[in-house]
Structure 1
Amino acid sequence: MPEPDAYDPDVLTVLDPADGSVVGRLDCASTAEVETAVETAAKAAVDWARTAPGERAARVADAAARIEVAAADLALLTTREMGKPLDDARGGVDAGVGTLRQYAELGPLHRGRSLQGGWDATDLMVPQPRGVVAAITPWNDPVAVPCGLLGAALVTGSTVVFKPSERTPHTGVELARLMAEVLPAGVLQVLVGDGRTGAALAASPQVDLVAHVGSTATGRAIAEAAARTGAKVILENGGNDPLIVDAGVDPVWAAEQAALGAFANAGQICTSVERVYVVEAVADAFLDALVERAEGLTVGPGTEPSTDLGPLVDERMRRTVHEQVEGAVADGARLLAGGAVPEGPGTFYPATVLTDCTDAMTVMREETFGPVAPVRVVPDFATALTAAAAGPYGLAAVVLTADMAHAQRAWRELPVGTVKINAAFGGAPGGAAQPRGASGSGFGYGPELLDEMTTTKVVHVGTPRV
């Protein structure tokens, strides 16, 4: 992957991960520009909070319509910046549009409640806007994820300073432009920059809430900054999501689910399958089917219709993924598929299957964020469940089982925010989970996000004595 001719730390140069060509360059916001944006948002917050909820919702619905018209261009820009197949990128844009429309409908319905007090008084619990929301979002789904945070903040009456990932800044800027054009001045602003920009935004004393989706390390730094300023934080951070394959399931079907969970978007999904525990009764057939599925995937640029597996977002990510695979092999894992860095341009990496893995290996302990399925064969479901529940992360888990007693036990005992039984992905719209441990805290989706985005004031109105 070629590097820019002249490196400038104050300029973001984005390379297409499929061929190394330059997508574009953008200047990073300075600390002074960060503070100006926050101050502008704080001033705009006064009138935006007083705007009728129905009017705020109508503006967000208008923004959704504008994004829908531009969906093809946004999808192509996403693919050029981070590599995912074009159909997948378009699906992310469509999801973002749907999310904005969901919050446009839910916003005016968000309500407080009355309390049973004395006969001569009125007691209320009233949700109010927080003020200025800093939204710091990731590169792996650069439209759908921001739309959730931006939509929920805007319909509940807060203003937003939006900092997209430095890996997908052009997508973030275009998304913000489309939305800001139907909003009052200052209500939604975008800042381009790297970690320094995000740190300055999170540390601003005028920010009332920081919503972050991204790495655990960054989430912890944001939480530390917020502890000093008093800002509320919503965090969805790294995960190390397990998949359990129980005895009694069709091993070919199980392999299809494992492949989908581990290889979709080249493994670059927050809730990707990161480690697999398969009961030995079905292990051989499962591994054979998983290898066949991995080797059958077409690797190529995301713009090619035949591509199943696009490139990793950049060379740094590919290097990290490959180091984990090499480390596992050095520690005794067997490589059944993939595991080699291909020659030629682009940051491609093949779908990789490892077996004979142990939980001491980095590839099993940490989030890989690449198309890698490390497998540990276990004697029974109880062993798999115990291993799957271990570790500091608590984002999601998948359990494939025909035994409903096992399914009930798994969803009750796994210490994660989301448990999917017999499906690697999926679920009804509006679901909202709370990640645990190193994976973050707070509701990041669904109607509950409206509660997170507001603060509750208790009001007691007594009767004056005359």
Structure 2
Amino acid sequence: MSESAAAAAAAAAVLLDRVQAPDGTGREIPDAATREVIGRAPAHTVADLDQAIERARAAQHAWETLGHEERSALLLKAADAIDANAEALAHLLSREQGKPLNGPNARFELGACSAWLRTNATTVLESQVLVDDESLHAELVYRAAGVVGAIGPWNWPLMITIWQIGPALRMGNTVVAKPSEYTPLSVLALIAVMNDVLPADVLIPISGGRDVGARLASHPDIDKIMFTGSTATGRRIIESSAGNLARLTLELGGNDAGIVLPGTEVSDIAQDLFWGAFINTGQTCAAMKRLYVHDSVYDEVVDALAEIAESTPMGNGLDENNVLGPLQNRPQFDIVSGLVEEARASGARVVTGGAAATDLGELFYRPTIVADIDNDAGLVQQEQFGPALPIIRYSDVDQAFAWANGVDVGLGSSVWSSDPEDARQAAARMQAGTVWINSHGGLHPMVPFGGIKSSGYGLEFGVEGLKSVAVTQVISGPGRKGR
């Protein structure tokens, strides 16, 4: 181990000691790559959650009355704290989630945390003058919603936590944040670092099971729920929130399609195609999950992606050479391997991969390209959420769009073409919250992001993201004549 790696490991151990449960208590959390125990997550109860929400409620008014300028200054200090601890947090994240340090993975995720938090802190949300005439002056202003419940996923646990808590805090809300049961330790460490500079009880983490998550969604003192995860869980949150009428932002499942149009120069897009699908070893809501390729370039695309898959290093994330890691958990591993086996049995061609990488560890699955597969195959119609990409051949462009749009989710999609005008016309035909051209999955903190259909509702990022964690108030009074 290099000197810098040893220093990061030591710093990560210090952070871990700050947040993990005392010896003999809590729940064991394994290293995703080695399955060795990293530490023990606190096992908070519903009673603990109730107390956390009570504290957050008590702190909310003072936090809101600080004003935007002071809150922004504190969030910028929190971003500085994340940067100062980035290497230790990345080390802990890599072990717990499995993603490698390098590539678009752990260090990338920590950089995104800082960038998004800084953008949240500095984005201006102006009030809107609706009427200003002789008889009436009416203005629309944005105020804090109150207490926000943030429920995060296991695939990008730190980054998505920031997506939730950053804008919520910026607008004057207090936050109770519940990380995934699979990746609690890195999120608890991130929040501990932020809480070194934030006022007490403005941001409270809670580490518990599904009963805690259900109570958070239904609690009468929660004013807003932000959730990223499966569509099935999102539906349960909607049902739970009926009693408290909490406002919702839901970023749910996706089964993103990409379409390669005829005449596209494959060498120009192959690397971006690969990473659009295999970022975070395919464990990304807005990754490309199915690719439709025209006859004229089909074989070339399949061969190019297979070559990249075979040459991309996979292994333990703490090895600086690797850029693909394991599946994070056994249930997800079983979903991926089961869908690939089903495709193979139905006659699809597994070009490369299609097997567990048992030499690397228990939950590693080789990057897999599946060709000559029917559009109605399970690997195409279901979100595999792992390192397996089905490539579907088409000859009729209208058919490709019908297939791409023929699912009940619509988070992201992409079109690929060497002709910019063709690409823009094609993008307008895709049914998704975001359509990328000649890329897939790239996000920007000022560009709104959200899904349609069963991929959820509500927007995150930028000005629209700030609005989503606020409530509107109209202030109406005398116009110019009455002043």
Q: Tell me the TM-score normalized by structure 1.
A: 0.94
Q: Residue in 2 aligned with 1:99?
A: 116
**3-state SS of 1:447 partner:** helix
The one-letter amino acid paired with 1:326 is E
- Decide which of 101, 107, 110 is 1:90's aligned counterpart: 107
**Given that residues 151 and 227 in structure 2 are in contact (C-alpha distance below 8 angstroms), is that contact kept between their aligned partners in structure 1?**
yes
**Given that residues 273 and 439 in structure 2 are in contact (C-alpha distance below 8 angstroms), is that contact kept between their aligned partners in structure 1?**
no
Pair 1:334 & 2:344 matched: no
Pair 1:113 & 2:128 matched: yes
The one-letter amino acid paired with 2:236 is A
Pair 1:66 & 2:71 matched: no
Post-superposition shift, 1:148? 2.0
**Does 242-251 or 61-70 show the bigger shift?**
242-251
Alignment of 1:261-300 (within 5 A): 261-300=276-315
Post-superposition shift, 1:427? 5.5
Quick one: distance in 2 between partners of 1:291 and 1:386?
Answer: 26
- Decide which of 458, 461, 464 is 2:477's aligned counterpart: 461
Pair 1:232 & 2:232 matched: no
Q: Residue in 1 aligned with 2:225?
A: 210
Aligned residues: CA RMSD: 1.8
Q: Residue in 1 aligned with 2:8?
A: none
Quick one: distance in 1 between partners of 2:276 and 2:290?
Answer: 10
Quick one: distance in 2 between partners of 1:310 and 1:400?
Answer: 27
Q: Residue in 2 aligned with 1:221?
A: 236
Q: Residue in 1 aligned with 2:464?
A: 448
Q: Residue in 2 aligned with 1:397?
A: 413
The one-letter amino acid paired with 1:94 is G
- Cα deviations by residue, 1:349-388 (Å, 9 ceiling, x for unpaired): 1000111212221111111110111011001322212211
The one-letter amino acid paired with 2:337 is H
- Cα deviations by residue, 1:12-49 (Å, 9 ceiling, x for unpaired): 32111211100111232111111111111111111112
The one-letter amino acid paired with 2:375 is D
Pair 1:370 & 2:386 matched: yes
Quick one: distance in 1 between partners of 2:250 and 2:76?
Answer: 26
In structure 2, stretches of 5+ residues that fail to align are 1-24
Post-superposition shift, 1:462? 4.2
**Given that residues 12 and 166 in structure 1 are in contact (C-alpha distance below 8 angstroms), is that contact kept between their aligned partners in structure 2?**
no
Q: Residue in 1 aligned with 2:431?
A: 415
Q: Residue in 2 aligned with 1:352?
A: 368
Quick one: distance in 2 between partners of 1:424 and 1:462?
Answer: 51
**3-state SS of 2:35 partner:** coil
Moved over 6 A (4+): none
Quick one: distance in 2 between partners of 1:454 and 1:426?
Answer: 26
Q: 1:221 to 1:377 in 2, by over 3 A?
A: same
The one-letter amino acid paired with 1:385 is F
**Does 274-283 or 404-413 show the bigger shift?**
404-413
Post-superposition shift, 1:404? 3.6
Quick one: distance in 1 between partners of 2:258 and 2:208?
Answer: 36
Q: Tell me the TM-score normalized by structure 2.
A: 0.90
**3-state SS of 1:36 partner:** helix
Q: Residue in 2 aligned with 1:77?
A: 92
Alignment: residue pair count: 454
- Decide which of 414, 436, 440 is 2:452's aligned counterpart: 436
The one-letter amino acid paired with 1:380 is D
Quick one: distance in 1 between partners of 2:202 and 2:444?
Answer: 31
Post-superposition shift, 1:281? 0.8
- Cα deviations by residue, 1:328-350 (Å, 9 ceiling, x for unpaired): 11222111111112324331010
In structure 1, stretches of 5+ residues that fail to align are 1-9
- Decide which of 190, 195, 198 is 1:180's aligned counterpart: 195
Post-superposition shift, 1:312? 0.8
